Structure 1
Amino acid sequence: MSSHMTVAAVLLAVVNGQRAMRHEPVLRSVPRIAVCDESSSPPECVRRHGLRASFAGVITAWGTSSPRTMVQAWLRSPPHRAIMLDPRYRVAGAYVGHDFGRVVFGSASE
């Protein structure tokens, strides 16, 4: 497993920790849905990887140093917080690159 995948798993664990603290459903990890080009909408990202999605969302962080820092920034931003804690989401994929992190959320099932 690459270090990017390890950090991505930590990012999703931190997101799930925040959701659990608020009694929201924990997200099932589907890492492949986080891998999509910037021109794709979140539902397209989810569907492209074989999941059915009635709705999806994405949150992105730039210039952050750790998964915890990303999640704290998202919690302080009402639009990001709403996506991250939306109880309708059941799956998510996280990706972390150099100074960049993204979580794609979906209501999808395989």
Structure 2
Amino acid sequence: MKRQHPTADDVRQKILADISAARENMVRIRSGDVAADMDAERSTCSSAMKTLFRSGDQISELPKGRPPQKGTSFEAQTGGQNYAGGNLVILYARRTDRSQPN
């Protein structure tokens, strides 16, 4: 029987738990690390990370060595690109409300 990969919702719940458990004001989360920890697909992790992105969060690294751009949204900071690699790194503001959809 083929093993089922975690869903985007599973990944979101893990990221939310990591943000909640952090002591720092900004929590660094790398897509590839989440994928490895959960045996999830990188594209699933990147998509989940994007849905949790809010104003006040910051992209610190993009796949393919591209520098993030300035802006308050995921789209502004990625230049509208839909990055799905393991090197997507987001600094999440710990105290941001993520209970509502973006």
Scaled by the length of structure 2, the TM-score of the pair is: 0.30
Scaled by the length of structure 1, the TM-score of the pair is: 0.29
